[in-house]
Structure 1
Amino acid sequence: MSDSTTDELLRIADELYGLPLADFTPSRDARAKALKGTPVAARVKALRKPSTAAWVANLLVRRDAEQVDQVLAVGAALRGAQAAMSADELRALTRQRRQLTAAVTTGARRIAREEGTRVTQAVADQVEATLTAAMVDERCGQALRSGMLVAALTTTGLEPAEVEGAVAVPEALGFVAAAREAEPPGRPDLHVVPDPEADAKAVAAAETALTEAQEAYAAAEAAHGDATATVETLEARGLQLQAEIAELRGRIDDLEASAEETDDELAEAEEARSEATADLDAAARARDAARAALARLQR
């Protein structure tokens, strides 16, 4: 496929994956029909409808690119800390990652609700897993930023993720989705008509807000629990190390005392050796004199 054809495919895909989920299939088919006879027609027709989680992630990329860029920036810093084996920075960034993905997922649910789609907890979990994968793996980050996901992303971080099947087309990796503002509301009706379901809708909206607040609280509580467990583990390790240091210091004191005693004994031994050397020299001289006297008498 030529560069111009690829550019056209990416431009069309960018438009289609930015549409409301229900509009994707009819809009795709209409575009493919209009392009019949062109090199790109078959590729457009083959574009897959995104899953709900993938659509929410694509919507987030277009409606709140700043948050997505922050997610990717923290992910890059996290990978750098892992490569550098900086334990303190790694723990801090891991906590930040959990807090950030939970907060951004909550924001994504709000954006989806504004588009008329209520996101279940199961779908929200897939969105958060996608954000985590984008932080852990650089190629997953590229897939997310393309805004052309067709499936949620997952990765263990131990091996390079396979993202080709999660994006609409392989060429999407490296593509940056165009930002899109929320659709402006239509012209208001000047005739106010009482809504007989207003109370029920208000209750439903309040229940939804409460559910989201409870989920955000649960995520924050889990992050707090993880942080507390880490602190307790490190405190216990610190106490253990302090005890080991105290034991080693006591051993050092004993060794230093033994070294001082050995120095004293060495000085005494050296003095005794000097005296023994003097006695040996005197004995040698006496022996030599006796030997000489004997030799003279025997002549």
Structure 2
Amino acid sequence: MADEDLLPLADELYALPLAAFTPARDKRAKETKDTRIKALRKPSLAAWVVNLLVRHETEQVEQVLAIGAGLRAAAEGMDAKQLRELTKQRRQLTAAVTTRARAVARERGVRVTEAVADQVEATLTAAILDQGAAEAVRSGLLVTSLAATGVDAVDAAAAVALPSALGFEAAPVSRELRVVPDPEPEEAERRRREEALQAARGTLAEAQHDHAAAAKQVSKLEAKALQLSAELEEARRRVADLEEKAEELDEELAEAEDARDEAAGELAEAQAAVDRLS
């Protein structure tokens, strides 16, 4: 069985509930006697949540990946205005999609903690910043969460079940095929409020980040202004000292000129006396 031939099977396995993955994998490995199936790694909880999101909220994931493509294109083209706008959209979208991912997992009886949610959001952010990470997410075959700095390339191949998963797209699950009871109105309203809260928190975090940056710039300029004020005061003191010395020098110069004129008169009288006696 070629590596590519494992993809449809892997797609089935990684679409299963997390608790069902290992038994189903081991059963298929035993049936086929293919050790490579046994080697397929169980996904971490964060990776499973992202895989779930890819299959059940495909449109939202595609939005995230589209923002990523636009963000990378803007970065390459040095379009600063578009880059700022897309970065803002990215923060809001990843926060909102992460909230939805937690809801999708909760519908299937899986509670996602804040720590796991942070890993899910970091994975979505990595998919925006890095093309390889985007392909890994789209595959729906993640085995571990991703993180990206935007500088170094992400080792996407190490985060998926199979190297050939990069370029593979997980089969989406139609919403109509879900066997999930409709939530009670109160529960639906609570979830809507939670999603709105998460989006608001994302906006708040961005505003806090911008405020902190502006405050840092103000502090920097205030320090520079204080330094310049001190230098100006020192310059003024030096000018005052020089002016005082100049006045003293003017007085000394006047006295020296008077002494010179007096000595010149005496010299003239002495010369005249010499001339008379010669």
TM-score using structure 2 length: 0.69
Q: Is this contact kept in 2: 1:82–1:90, CA < 8 A?
A: yes
What SS does the aligned partner of 2:24 have?
helix
Q: Which residue of 2 aligns with 1:117?
A: 110
Distance between the aligned counterparts of 2:37 and 2:13, measured in 1? Answer: 10
Give 5+ residue unaligned stretches, structure 2: 218-278
Distance between the aligned counterparts of 2:59 and 2:193, measured in 1? Answer: 26
Q: Which residue of 2 aligns with 1:35?
A: 32
Distance between the aligned counterparts of 1:119 and 1:203, measured in 2? Answer: 21
TM-fit CA distance, 1:65:
1.1
Alignment map for 1:13-162 (pairs within 5 Å): 13-36=10-33, 41-162=34-155
Cα distance 1:93–1:43, how it changes in 2: closer, same or farther (>3 A)?
A: same
Q: Which residue of 2 aligns with 1:257?
A: none
The count of aligned residue pairs is 215
Q: Is this contact kept in 1: 2:92–2:199, CA < 8 A?
A: no
Segment drifting more, 52-61 vs 218-227: 218-227
In structure 1, which of residues 177, 181, 185 is the aligned counterpart of residue 179 of structure 2?
185
RMSD: 2.9
Question: Which AA in structure 2 matches 1:140?
Answer: A
TM-fit CA distance, 1:211:
6.2
Cα distance 1:19–1:122, how it changes in 2: closer, same or farther (>3 A)?
A: same
Question: Which AA in structure 1 matches 2:19?
Answer: A
Question: Which AA in structure 1 matches 2:11?
Answer: D
Question: Which AA in structure 1 matches 2:21?
Answer: F
Distance between the aligned counterparts of 1:204 and 1:103, measured in 2? Answer: 18
Distance between the aligned counterparts of 1:52 and 1:42, measured in 2? Answer: 24
1:111-166 per-residue CA deviation (whole Å, 9 max, x = no partner) reads 11111111111110000000000000000000000000000001111121111221
Q: Which residue of 2 aligns with 1:217?
A: 200
What SS does the aligned partner of 1:33 have?
helix
Q: Is this contact kept in 1: 2:4–2:164, CA < 8 A?
A: no
Distance between the aligned counterparts of 1:67 and 1:209, measured in 2? Answer: 16
Q: Is this contact kept in 1: 2:71–2:83, CA < 8 A?
A: yes
Distance between the aligned counterparts of 1:86 and 1:146, measured in 2? Answer: 30
Identity %: 53
Q: Is this contact kept in 2: 1:95–1:227, CA < 8 A?
A: no
Q: Is this contact kept in 1: 2:100–2:195, CA < 8 A?
A: no
Cα distance 1:208–1:88, how it changes in 2: closer, same or farther (>3 A)?
A: closer
Question: Which AA in structure 1 matches 2:9?
Answer: I
TM-fit CA distance, 1:232:
8.8
TM-score using structure 1 length: 0.65
Cα distance 1:28–1:208, how it changes in 2: closer, same or farther (>3 A)?
A: same
Q: Is this contact kept in 2: 1:17–1:24, CA < 8 A?
A: yes
Distance between the aligned counterparts of 2:203 and 2:57, measured in 1? Answer: 22
